Structures are given as C-alpha cells and as structure tokens.
C-alpha cells in the first residue's frame, strides 16, 4: 500500500546540509496501525510529511497504492492527498473562524463532493467523535480534546485509506489522550491504516507495529505480539 | 467552488475590517479620480458619428496671400469665404454637401403670453439634415430648389416647438424671426450631437441649435454671423454684398463623400478649383491648396481634447498605480499572515491553483466593491467639475461605457495587484506551518 525505498531528504542552506532522512525504507500494509517513535529531530515529522506528500523528497522512490508519487505534479499530489490521506496534527490545526461543520467540510469541498453527501458525511463523522450537537460551535469554544476530536472527524470525513497523525495527543491531558487513542483504535478497526508519530511509549505500545527513527533512519522494528497475531489471523482468514 | 470562494473572501474581508477598509478606500479613491478625468477625456474625445467617420469631411482652403500665415499646424484656415462656399457648392463630386453659418434671431411668438426671446440658429443647406442624421418628428427638410433660390422656411427643434406651441405637429404654422415670417416645414425630435462636429468654431459642447433656415437666405436676409469672422487683410465693407465678396473666412463647409475614390476625386476637384481661381487672379500664393479631414482627424486637428486633459488622465492613472502599490503591500501582509491556514488547506487537499483562485476571488470582490465606491466618488468629482466650471457642463458626464469601465478597471487593477500576493501564498510549504500552529 505504502512503499518507501531509499528515501532521503536533505535540507540545504548556504552553509550546511542537513540529512533529515537517509536511505529510509518502509512498507506499510493495509489496515496496519504503526507508531513512529524517536528522539526530537530524528526525522519522524519529515517522514510523516513526505508520506502525506506535504514535502518532496531528495532521492529514492515512494509509491502510494502503486502510484509513483515522485512523478506527480503539485496538483496531482494535492488530489491524491485529498482522496487517500487524512491528517491529524498535534496542534489540531482547525481553522478558527469556521465552525465545526465547516471545518470538517474543508477537505470534502476540495474533493468536489456534492452538498447533500457532504452533509451526510459531516454529521456522521461529528456523531462518531461525539460532537454532533456542537456542529455550529467555533473551535475556540471547545476544549483541547474536543478540538482534536473535530480534527479526527475532519480527517475521517474524506474516508481516507491512510490516517497520518503527528503527536495527536501531545497537547492533551492523559484522560483526553486516552479517549483520542481509543478513537484512533476504533477507526483502525474499521479498516483505516494509521501511522502515528508519538513521543509517548505507552501509546506506542498500543500500536501493532512500532518503528523507531534515529538520525533519519529506521533503526529497529518492534513487532508486538498482539499485532503479529492479528496479522497472522488476517492472513489465515 | 466559486461561490465558496466568495464566501471565504467575504469572511476574510470581515476578519480584518480595518485593513479591508483601507484597501477599499485606496482602490475607490484611485478609481474615483481616474474615472473623473477619464470620463471628461472620453466625452471630449468621443466621435459622435463613428459610422460616418470616413464619409463626412471638413473642407479647408489655403487662400491667403503670400506671406500670410495661419495659426494652424498646416497653415489652413478652419472656415471658408462666401465666394468659395458658393463655388464649391457646384461640385458634383460629393454625395451630399452643406455650407453653413451660425446666426440668430429675435423670436416673436404668436402666443402673447410668451415674451419675445433670442434664439441662435443655423443657416445651412438642406443636405445638412441627412449628413448629420438629424431626426424629424414631423415634416422634412426644404427642397433642393430652396437651396438655390431661397425661401423663408424653417425647421425647428423639439424644445423650441414645445416652447412656442406646447409641442405637437405645427407644420405650416409661421414663426416670426427678426420681423420676418418663416413657414415651419419641419419639426425635429429631441436631438443631440456632441461634440458639435459640424461647427467646432463656436464651442464644441452645449446644446445644438433649435432653429434651422436655408443657407440660400444669407444674401436675401443679410444674415449676420454669430460665430467667428476671420479676416487676414484690410477690406472695406460698407454693404452686406461687400462682405459676401470679401476674403473674410466665416462659413463652415462640409461634404459627404461616398468612398475613397470620391475622396480622391474631391481632392483633385479642390486642386482644380485652386488653379482656376489662381488663373482668375485670386489665391496669390505658391502653396495654395485645399484639404479635407474626416471627423476623427477634424476633432484631433481642432484639439477638442487639450494636452492638459491628456496629462490629467496620465496623472490620474499614476495615482491609481500608487494606490495599487499600497493595496499590493497590504494584501501581501494580509495573505502571508494567513499562511498557516493555507498550510492546513493544502494539507487537506487544496491544490496551489485552488489556493490561488481563492485569493484572487477575494481580491476581485475588493476590486468590484472599490469600483462601485469609486463610481460614487467619480460622480462627486464630475458634479464638482460641472458646478465649478461651466465649460465642463457638457463633458463632465459618464456614459454607459464609463459606467462599465469603472468596475472593469477596478477589477482588473485589483487582480493585477493581487496576483503576486496570491501567487506568493499559494506557494506556501504546508509542512512549514502545520507543526508551528
């Protein structure tokens, strides 16, 4: 589903070159829940941005559902991103002067979905995250946890195959973080593939697969038992 | 999506009311000033009969003695002598032709309730009406025979007809001009020809005459010129006939030529006429010649639009450019401040084209609103011009073209100013802002 081969990303300035990713290889299968951990500055977010086509890479190949991302134009990447990928950010990134309904509507508008279908999806997704009754509220009227749930609803509304979450619980207290994590697990059970960057080892342990990134490279693979069993069971089925 | 962009644009403008107001005022003032000067320029330079531009010609003859200069660039006077007008009338080349003169009368109305009044008039040949497409409500111009022998008939305008008779068909009634009774044979519909291309000597702007009589009455009634009389040598004029025989330039002469061949034929005719007159002892100069100028050439030649007006238009466009430069910097600051939101939109699937279009629509809304407000300012400017300077009364107006030009110029100018900020913001790297929000 997602295959990165020898991906490298170099940031160049006049004085220095910074290798954010080097020879980064990864294959992600459909339905996986992957946690990406690593120290600050290790390249986690760069990896996530490249996976989400928010940044281009310097070398290597990246295939998403058999589409060679490197060959796509900016508009092509935007279209693919809009159709296949949902984002959840640490800072929620809701648009402050749009109400919850309108925030969730943003990716659907860019996809050209008709108004009736948009309405159906938005109401369903807001219900799913428990905020159906607050559709007309502005983000500033919600708590951090609620805002993150709106962000999740926004990501879900496009019915993405991939959900990329960059420290989704980073700005939340432990109770809110647990709720958000449970929500992500439910979404994963419904079939979405999730890649989550996190600093929290406890949250990472709840994922099926844990990738550690150090100095722009994957240094270790930890396949948790539960995840293994689940994969095997899926393969046998 | 376009409607959605309008919604986003409206929200964005409301979100920063002070900046939006500043930009709106900048474009509105720029457009207001530009449209004020442009409207005056446009009204002054407008060709009132573009469809006849290459058919109607003013006739000029360089007839002065050797060593006498005229003040025109080509040394050709604007008007003709009576002798020349009468001679040129015999030419078979023009499809239509008219000698004419601005004159005037004391009018004594038949209705005793109306006091006598002074009325300007035009003495012209009958072709005048067809040449300048003067519309008749009742009756028709006088016959060609009247152009030759003279008859006390008159064509009156709609306004004069209203004033004298309260409107309606008054063909056959008499009008008394300077104690002479004229039979009314034609009544015009409301009519306006500005600039008054048939006689630019006596003011290009203002109301067209309401009273027309045959040019052939000139020697019979000894009609006085109410326009310019240009003499270039001393001539004793004791009688009216002396004036008719003089070299005083006081008549306008226009011809309608069907095509290019007719134009060439008429130029040849004028050259032949000059030669003939030289042989008769007139036109004693080496470079005596005739010329014809079409409507556009005539308007330009007579400098209906002065250089001052042209400079003013240039300056007003420069002022608009300054306003746009200010708008550009305000837009740039405003749009770049919004880069984090654009980052989110890009992450959620907006293409660069969509982001660019969203911002251009916002700028376009600003342009249209600025254009509308600019129209109000322009109307105020034109009103002040009309009130302060009587000579601008006729030209400090906006026609439909200018009403449409204001929002169009404003829209295009704003889109031009908005292109760079919109391009800049659509190139936002989304990843740069997503982490920092």
pLDDT in tens, A169-193: 777 777 777 877 888 888 888 888 9
* B433 neighbors B340 (Cβ within 8 angstroms): yes
Q: Tell me: the pLDDT tens digits for B409-427?
A: 999 999 999 999 999 888 8
Chain A interface residues (partner B, CB cutoff 8 A)? 45, 49, 52, 54-55, 74-75, 78-79, 81-83, 87, 89-95, 97, 106-107, 109-112, 154, 158, 166
Residue B27, H or E segment: helix B17-45
B98 and B227 together in one domain:
yes
Q: Does residue B432 sit at the A interface (CB-CB below 8 Å)?
A: no
Alpha-carbon gap, residue A5 to A3, rounded angstroms: 6
Q: What is the pLDDT of residues B371-395, one digit of tens each?
A: 999 999 999 999 998 888 877 777 7
In this predicted structure, what is the pLDDT of residue B274? 93
Separation in Å, CA of A202 to nearest CA in chain B? 22
- What is the enclosing helix (H) or strand (E) of B297? helix B295-301
Q: How far is A219 from chain B (nearest CA, A)?
A: 24
Fold of A2-236: Rossmann fold (3.40.50)
B2–chain A Cβ distance below 8 A for any pair: no
> pLDDT at position B181, please?
95
Contacts of B341 in chain A (CB under 8 A): 95
Q: pLDDT confidence of B437, banded at 50, 70, 90?
A: very low
* Predicted pLDDT at B80: 95
A83 chain-B contacts, CB cut-off 8 A: 349
Tokens of A138: 């502005």
Same domain, B250 and B323: no
Please report the DSSP string for A201-228 in residue order: HHHHHTSSEEEEEETTEEEEEEE-HHHH
Q: Are residues B98 and B236 in the same domain?
A: yes
Query: Three-class SS of residue A147?
Result: helix
Sole residue written with tokens 């293409």: B351
Digit-coded pLDDT (tens) for B41-97: 888 777 888 899 999 999 999 988 888 888 888 899 999 999 999 999 999 999 999
Judgement on whether residues B343 and B402 belong to the same structural domain of the protein:
yes
Whether residue B90 is found in the same domain as residue B24: no
Structural domain including B331 reads 2-47+305-434
Tell whether B115 is covered by a domain. Answer: yes
Distance from CA of B334 to the nearest CA of A (A): 16
CB contact under 8 A, B431 and A111: no
Chain A interface, mutation test: which of B337, B338, B347, most A Cβ atoms within 10 Å?
Answer: B347
Is A194 strand, coil or helix? strand
Closest-CA residue of A relative to B338 is A95
Q: Do B351 and A75 touch (CB under 8 A)?
A: yes
Residue among B344, B349, B429 minimizing CB distance to A93: B344
Q: How many domains is chain B partitioned into structurally?
A: 2
CB contact under 8 A, A110 and B348: yes
Which pLDDT score is estimated for B81? 95
Which positions ≥6 away from B83 have C-beta within 8 Å? B244, B245
pLDDT at B427 (0 to 100): 84
Give the per-residue pLDDT at B326.
92
DSSP state of A92: -
Q: Which of B302, B246, B268 is nearest to B74 (CA)?
A: B302
Point out the residue among A79, A90, A107 whose CB comes nearest to the CB of B351. Answer: A79
User: B280, exposed or middle or buried, with CB in 10 Å at 0-12, 13-18, 19+?
Assistant: exposed
Across A82-91, B136-145, B365-374, least confident range: A82-91
Contact B347 A87 (CB under 8 A): yes
Q: What does DSSP assign to residue B209?
A: P
Checking if the pLDDT of B287 tops 90, the result is no
B341-349 average pLDDT score? 86
Same domain, B212 and B328: no
Question: Residue B328: inside a domain, yes or no?
Answer: yes
CA atoms of A53 and B3, how far apart (whole Å): 28
Looking at residue B435, its pLDDT comes to 62
Does residue B375 lie within any of the structural domains?
A: yes
The pair of three-digit structure tokens given for residue B240, joined into one six-digit string: 């009216």
Sign of the alpha-carbon torsion through B406, B407, B412, B414: positive
Q: Is B3 helix (H, G, I), strand (E, B) or coil?
A: helix
Nearest to B351 among A49, A74, A107 (CB): A74
Residues B128 and B223 in one domain: yes
B90 touches chain A (CB under 8 A): no
The answer for residues whose C-beta is within 8 angstroms of residue B211's C-beta and 6 or more apart is B105, B107, B119, B120, B121, B122, B154, B155, B156, B157, B160, B175, B177
Which residue, among A75, A105, A110, would best test binding to B if mutated, counting the most B CBs under 10 Å from its CB?
A110
The minimum CA-CA distance between A84 and chain B, rounded to whole Å, is: 10
d(CA B308, CA B41): 10
- Taking contacts as CB-CB distances below 8 angstroms, the residues of chain A near B349 are 78-79, 81-83, 107, 110-111, 158
| Residue B124 in this model has a pLDDT that exceeds 80 | yes
Is B216 found in the same domain as B90? yes
Which value, to the nearest 10 degrees, does the dihedral of the CA atoms of residues B410, B412, B413, B414 take?
A: 80
Report which of B416, B415, B427 is spatially closest to residue B363, judged by C-alpha positions.
Answer: B415
Three-state DSSP at B155 gives: strand
- CB atoms A107 and B348 under 8 Å: yes
**Bigger pLDDT: B122 vs B41:** B122
pLDDT digits (tens, 9 = 90+) for A1-25: 889 998 999 988 878 888 888 888 8
Which of these, A201, A141, A160, lies nearest to A52 by C-alpha position? Answer: A160
pLDDT confidence tier of residue A229, bands split at 50, 70 and 90: low
Whether B86 and B18 share a structural domain: no
Q: Chain B residue with minimal CA distance to A91?
A: B437
Indicate the average pLDDT of chain B.
90
Q: What contacts A161, CB < 8 A, 6 or more positions away?
A: A1, A30, A65, A84, A85, A192, A193
Same domain, B227 and B100: yes
Q: Does B349 touch chain A (CB under 8 A)?
A: yes
Partner residue facing A54 (CB), from B15, B341, B347: B347
For residue A224, pLDDT over 50 is answered with no
B207 in helix, strand or coil?
A: coil
pLDDT of amino acid A237? 56
On whether the CB atoms of residues B37 and B382 are closer than 8 A, the answer is: no
Interchain pair A95, B431: CB under 8 A: no
Number of continuous H segments (helices) and E segments (strands) in chain A: 8, 10
Predicted confidence at residue B86, as pLDDT, reads 95
Picking from B4, B343, B351, the nearest residue to A78 by CB comes out as B351
User: Lowest-pLDDT range, A37-41, A217-221, B255-259?
Assistant: A217-221
Distance from CA of B13 to the nearest CA of A (A): 12
What ipTM was predicted for this assembly? 0.81
Residue B189 falls within a domain, yes or no? yes
Query: Does the pLDDT value for residue B136 go beyond 90?
Result: yes
Subunit contact A54:B346, Cβ cutoff 8 A: yes
Residues B199 and B111 in one domain: yes
Find chain A residues with C-beta within 8 A of B340's C-beta.
Answer: 93
B66 touches chain A (CB under 8 A): no
**Which of the listed ranges A79-93, B146-160, B289-303 does the model predict with the highest average pLDDT?**
B146-160
Contact A84, A1 (CB under 8 A): no
| CB–CB contacts below 8 A, A to B | 75
User: Is residue A158 a contact partner of residue A108, using CB atoms and an 8 Å limit?
Assistant: yes
Out of B1, B345, B351, name the one closest to residue A106 (CB). Answer: B345
In this predicted structure, the answer to whether residue B137 has a pLDDT above a threshold of 70 is yes
Q: Does B338 touch chain A (CB under 8 A)?
A: no
Domains of chain A: which residue ranges? 2-236
CA-CA distance, B316 to B134, in Å (whole number)? 37
Q: What is the pLDDT of residues B161-212, one digit of tens each?
A: 999 999 999 999 999 999 899 999 999 999 988 888 999 887 777 778 999 9
């Amino acid at each position: 589903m997602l295959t990165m081969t020898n991906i490298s990303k170099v940031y160049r300035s006049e004085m220095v070159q910074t290798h954010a990713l080097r020879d980064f290889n990864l294959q992600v299968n459909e339905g996986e829940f992957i946690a990406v951990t690593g120290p600050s500055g290790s390249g986690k977010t760069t990896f996530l941005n490249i996976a989400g086509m928010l940044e281009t890479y310097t070398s290597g190949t990246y295939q998403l559902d058999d589409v060679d991302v490197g060959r796509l134009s900016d508009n092509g990447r935007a279209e693919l991103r809009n159709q296949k990928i949902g984002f959840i950010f640490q800072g929620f990134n809701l648009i402050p002067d749009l109400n919850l309904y309108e925030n969730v509507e943003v990716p659907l508008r860019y996809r050209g979905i008709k108004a009736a279908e948009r309405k159906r999806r938005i109401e369903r997704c807001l219900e799913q995250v428990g905020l159906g009754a607050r559709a007309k509220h502005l983000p500033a009227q919600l708590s951090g946890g609620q805002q993150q749930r709106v962000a999740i609803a926004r990501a879900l509304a496009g019915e993405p195959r991939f959900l990329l979450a960059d420290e989704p619980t980073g700005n939340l207290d432990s109770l809110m973080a647990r709720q958000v994590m449970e929500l992500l697990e439910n979404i994963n059970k419904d079939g979405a593939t999730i890649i989550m960057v996190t600093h929290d080892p406890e949250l990472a342990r709840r994922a099926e697969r844990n990738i550690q990134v150090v100095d722009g490279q994957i240094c270790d693979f930890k396949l948790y038992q539960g995840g293994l069993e689940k994969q095997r069971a899926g393969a046998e089925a | 999506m376009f409607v959605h962009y309008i919604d986003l644009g409206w929200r964005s403008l409301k979100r920063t009311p002070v900046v939006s107001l500043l930009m709106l005022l900048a474009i509105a003032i720029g457009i207001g000033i530009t449209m004020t000067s442009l409207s005056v320029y446009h009204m002054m330079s407008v060709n009132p009969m573009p469809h006849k531009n290459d058919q109607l010609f003013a006739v000029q003859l360089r007839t002065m003695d050797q060593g006498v200069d005229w003040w025109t660039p080509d040394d050709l006077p604007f008007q003709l002598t009576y002798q020349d007008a009468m001679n040129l009338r015999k030419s078979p080349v023009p499809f239509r032709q008219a000698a004419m003169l601005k004159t005037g009368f004391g009018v004594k109305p038949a209705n005793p309730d109306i006091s006598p009044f002074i009325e300007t008039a035009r003495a012209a040949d009958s072709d005048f009406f067809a040449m300048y497409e003067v519309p008749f409500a009742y009756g028709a111009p006088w016959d060609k025979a009247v152009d030759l022998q003279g008859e006390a008939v008159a064509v009156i305008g709609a306004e004069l007809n209203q004033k004298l008779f309260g409107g309606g068909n008054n063909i056959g009634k008499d009008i008394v001009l300077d104690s002479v009774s004229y039979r009314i044979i034609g009544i015009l519909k409301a009519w306006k020809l500005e600039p008054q291309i048939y006689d630019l000597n006596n003011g290009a702007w203002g109301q067209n005459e309401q009273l027309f009589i045959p040019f052939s009455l000139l020697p019979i009634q000894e009609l006085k010129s109410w326009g310019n009389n240009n003499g270039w040598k001393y001539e004793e004029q004791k009688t009216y006939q002396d004036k008719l025989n003089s070299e005083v330039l006081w008549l306008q002469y226009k011809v309608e030529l069907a095509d290019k061949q007719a134009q060439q034929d008429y130029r040849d005719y004028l050259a032949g006429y000059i030669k003939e007159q030289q042989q008769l002892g007139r036109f004693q100069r080496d470079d005596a010649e005739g010329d014809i100028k079409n409507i556009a050439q005539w308007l330009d030649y007579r400098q209906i639009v002065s250089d001052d007006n042209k400079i003013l238009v240039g300056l007003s466009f420069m002022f608009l450019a300054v306003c746009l430069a200010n708008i550009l910097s305000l837009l740039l600051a405003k749009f770049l401040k919004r880069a984090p939101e654009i980052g989110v939109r890009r992450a959620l699937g907006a293409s660069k084209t969509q982001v660019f279009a969203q911002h251009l629509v916002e700028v376009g809304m600003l342009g249209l609103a600025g254009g509308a407000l600019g129209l109000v300012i322009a109307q105020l400017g034109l009103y002040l011009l009309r009130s302060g300077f009587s000579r601008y009364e006729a030209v400090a107006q906006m026609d439909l073209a200018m009403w449409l030009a204001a929002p169009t110029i404003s829209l295009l100018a704003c889109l031009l100013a908005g292109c760079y900020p919109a391009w800049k913001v659509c190139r936002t790297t989304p990843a740069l802002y997503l982490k920092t929000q």
